[in-house]
A and B are shown apart, each in its own frame.
Chain A
Amino acid sequence: MLKRTIFQKLALIVGFSFLYLPILLIVIFSFNESKLVTVWGGFSFKWYGELFRDEVMLSAAWLSLKVGFISATLATIFGTIAGLIMARFGPFKGRALLAGMMSTPMVMPEVILGISFLLAFVAMEKMIGWPADRGFVTLIIAHTTFTLAYVSVIVQSRLADMDPSIDEAAQDLGARPLKIFFWITLPMIIPALASGWLLAFSLSVDDVVISQFVSGPGYTTLPLKVFSSVKLGIDPKINALGTLIVLIVGTAALISALTVMRRAKKKG
């Protein structure tokens, strides 16, 4: 028994060190005065200052936030509808096709998705003249399409846990389907919608490969900017940027952990 607990502790230590040591190094060296990323030259906020003075980086971040916000919202709308259909509509013609198309973006390598989106946009432009060029609109369409699958899975599994008899009761009392959805189903699945939106947003804001295909000149998202500067070598500003991202995600995780614990305490 003792041997087993030692093994388990070891597995936890090794596993989590592997996951977190690289992130920890980024955070530490973001405060490094020296430009040499691996030699400690004293504590400094220098790179944060440089990061916030980098106009190109800032405008790339702004574009990423805009694209992420719009595409996550669209993905949540379409993904919720799709999740509702899969969980509540029973059999219909084309159900297998919809289910297949919904799960495809989650398992398909991004390069294949990226080339498909771009070639489709080019072909559409040739045939119907729209979209006229690659940029904001194509980024949003592509990001919505590959993230809505994730939203639909989350919504679908939340609906599967819910008791459908509540909807049926409302229906028996004469409520129309649309009213049932907005007054009963939607309030109950709001948490799933929120986590779906957040996931879609973070996938969009983090995407490199698909954006590289569907973006055009003048539309450099933050990951595209980071990718091109990292390809040229180490840049301490990226450490500062990474630390800020870790800070934001860490805070969000902490808040959600605390809410879960408080809720668990209330129930208990």
Chain B
Amino acid sequence: MKTFLNRLKSIRIGRGTVIGIPMLWMIIFLFLPFAIVFYISLTSLSEGTSPPYTDIFAWGSDGLLTIKINLANYTGLVLDNLYLISYASSVGYALMATFFCLLIGYPLAYAIARSNPAHRTIFLMLVIMPFWTSFLIRVYAWIGILKENGFINQILMGLGVINDPIPMLYTPFAVVVGMTYTYLPFMILPLYSNLEKFDLTLLEAAADLGAKPKTAWFRITLPLSMPGIIAGSLLVFIPACGEYVIPSLLGGPETLMIGRTLVDEFFANRDWPVASAVAIVLLAFLLIPIVWFQTLERKADKKGAK
């Protein structure tokens, strides 16, 4: 009995330590940093000091604790058109990229799910493989394709469709194409795992009952694949909203996206408090889709566990 109790004790101590290791790491290096960003977003810019922000809490000469909170970083975001346009166009470009990912990704995921099971693994691997090759180099490839004397313009001019090259690189179009290309696998994978489970006898039943293929698709396939569509769209939309690399490589100077504005504010202007406020507002905005996605995942997890 005594040894049993001892063993139980040793298990419990071990358990706490084991939980503590990743917990502590994540609290120090993930949770705390978010708190610090929030703190700095409430300070004022202090040029010439390092780090370039003021303290919120300070002991005054009279021995009293003074608290100075600066909300101007947030009100400034609303009053300055630069930020409003950046936020709005980020959402716009991200929505367009999500739409095009769905347009290309849905038929592809559908075709893979319906293909010969022997080919399926290979197709899936082909979807995932670009994701393993360098993200930066895949974006870079589009510079060569969209340039003034790039691949598309040369083909079109060679065919005599156009006489002068169409400016495509450094436009919002290039940014949307780049994001669609980069995030397409994120759309296809959840869609595929949803469509793969689809019960084909449902469509046969619908056909037996006289439904045309189109009606059956709209009334049965589409509603049943909705969880996949939503999960895939969120997985594209969320990172696309905060995208920085693609607009800075493929976009022009007027192609504003909030990720790019944030980085510029931080490195070029060294305005850490405003950059922090930009990050906090972006985070607050994305919290809705992020929580939505996590709820979906948890639901899928529970279903899988059954």
Question: A interface vs B, CB < 8 Å?
Answer: 4, 7-12, 14-16, 18-20, 22-23, 25-26, 29, 36-39, 78-79, 81-82, 84-85, 89, 92, 94, 97-98, 100-105, 107-112, 115-117, 119-120, 122-123, 126, 141-142, 144-145, 148, 152, 160, 176-178, 202, 206, 208-209, 212-213, 223, 226-227, 230-231, 234, 238, 241-242, 245-246, 249-250, 252-253, 257, 260-261
**A72, chain B: closest CB distance, angstroms:** 14
Q: Quick one: given A109-B241, A250-B129, are A227 and B105 in contact (CB under 8 Å)?
A: no
A89-B15 in contact (CB<8A): yes
Interface-facing stretch out of B60-68, B74-82, B146-154: B146-154
Count, A-B residue pairs, CB within 8 A? 238
CA distance A79 to B141 in the complex (A): 34
Q: Quick one: given A14-B104, A19-B126, A92-B19, are A117 and B143 in contact (CB under 8 Å)?
A: no
With both beta carbons as reference points, the residue of chain B lying nearest to A233 in the complex is identified as B143
Having A18-B181, A234-B144, one finds 4 other A-B pairs with CB under 8 Å, namely: A19-B181, A100-B294, A102-B22, A103-B297
With both beta carbons as reference points, the residue of chain B lying nearest to A3 in the complex is identified as B213
A226-B136 in contact (CB<8A): yes
CA distance A79 to B244 in the complex (A): 27
B10-A176 in contact (CB<8A): yes
B26-A98 in contact (CB<8A): yes
**B148, chain A: closest CB distance, angstroms:** 10
A25-B242 in contact (CB<8A): no
Selected from A15, A19, A78, A116, the residue in CB contact (under 8 A) with B21 is A78
Which B residues lie within 8 Å of A116 (CB)? Answer: 30, 33-34, 36-37, 279
**B101, chain A: closest CB distance, angstroms:** 11
B136-A206 in contact (CB<8A): yes
B184 close to chain A: CB less than 8 A: yes
Interface of B is mostly: helix
B222 close to chain A: CB less than 8 A: no
Question: B interface vs A, CB < 8 Å?
Answer: 7, 10-11, 14-15, 18-19, 21-23, 25-27, 29-34, 36-37, 40, 51, 104-105, 107-108, 110-112, 114-115, 121-123, 125-127, 129-130, 132-138, 140-145, 147, 149-151, 154, 181, 184-185, 188, 213, 238-239, 241-245, 248-249, 259, 262-263, 266, 272, 275-276, 279, 282-283, 286, 290, 293-294, 297, 304-305
With both beta carbons as reference points, the residue of chain B lying nearest to A209 in the complex is identified as B244
Which B residues lie within 8 Å of A119 (CB)? Answer: 33, 36-37, 40, 272, 276
CA distance A181 to B110 in the complex (A): 41
Selected from B34, B51, B111, the residue in CB contact (under 8 A) with A11 is B111
Selected from A78, A123, A213, the residue in CB contact (under 8 A) with B36 is A123
A112-B181 in contact (CB<8A): no
A94-B23 in contact (CB<8A): yes
CA distance A261 to B118 in the complex (A): 9
Selected from B40, B149, B213, B241, the residue in CB contact (under 8 A) with A38 is B149
A120-B36 in contact (CB<8A): yes
A242-B14 in contact (CB<8A): no
B30-A105 in contact (CB<8A): yes
Which A residues lie within 8 Å of B14 (CB)? Answer: 177-178
B283-A112 in contact (CB<8A): yes
Q: Quick one: given A19-B130, A78-B25, A102-B26, are A110 and B33 in contact (CB under 8 Å)?
A: no
Which B residues lie within 8 Å of A246 (CB)? Answer: 133
Selected from B22, B125, B143, the residue in CB contact (under 8 A) with A98 is B22
Q: 7 closest A-B pairs (Cβ-Cβ)?
A: A109-B242, A15-B108, A11-B107, A120-B33, A116-B33, A22-B141, A242-B137
CA distance A245 to B132 in the complex (A): 9
A25-B145 in contact (CB<8A): yes
Q: Quick one: given A107-B293, A126-B51, A253-B129, are A230 and B140 in contact (CB under 8 Å)?
A: yes
Selected from B10, B30, B127, the residue in CB contact (under 8 A) with A101 is B30
Which B residues lie within 8 Å of A84 (CB)? Answer: 18
Selected from A7, A97, A231, the residue in CB contact (under 8 A) with B249 is A231
